[in-house]
Homo-oligomer: A and B are copies of this chain.
Amino acid sequence: MSNPMKIIEIKRSVFADNNADADKLRAELRSKGVFLLNLMSSPGSGKTSTLIQLINRLKTDLRIAVMEADIDSDVDAVKIHEATGIESIQLHTGGMCHLDADMTRQGLAHLPLQDIDLAILENVGNLVCPAEFDTGSTMNAMILSVPEGHDKPLKYPLMFSICDLVIINKIDVLPYFDFDLDKCREYVLQRNPKATIIPISAKTGEGIETLAQYFINIIKN
């Protein structure tokens, strides 16, 4: 693809009713056959490294593009493109702590949607604000990493209640942290009884095949 790395400066939205706008965007994407994944997490939980592993496993099955939202760096978009070869654009939020549906649409306008099955939005690293704004995504997912602790679903309830997929990352360091995977599952399911929980290590590759199959099943069926 030409011009694989773009930096887009996102403008504040003018729409008062983000929920209605998000539903509209979701319908537009459905009509185009694009599955939009909104991936959220704390800073440093491993969104980018998880995406690199997942995309390298999925890219023969699905046509994928990534939008990396960040306050003002472009390290993630460069990293994703270099490590996977897929189109990756950087969305600068200008200090904003989240993306809403219109901001997401501004990013999507720079992607060749007719050639894409799976568009991934890597949201701003933040467990609070992104949970409050519907991006128009087909699915919300989040990553919780082992060093953050198993109590996070108790402390950031909205984030866990809106995510249908919770990826538990960095399970390779489980021996070094007081992280109780069973308790974590219990707390996640308290917030969203329908949530799927998939433990992985983006470092060792453990669990990536399970995660890839999960997306293939959902997107291809």
Contact = CB atoms under 8 A, between A and B. Distances in A.
Given A43-B148, A75-B155, A125 B127 contact: yes
Give how many copies assemble into the complex.
2
A97 interface: yes
Main secondary structure of the interface of A (DSSP, over half): loop
A155 B42 contact: no
A7 interface: no
B42 A125 contact: yes
A199 to B, nearest CB: 16
Interface in A117-167: 124-129, 132, 145-149, 151-152, 154-158
A71 interface: yes
Contact of A128 (B71, B145, B158): B71
Contacts of A157: 71-73
A95 B43 contact: no
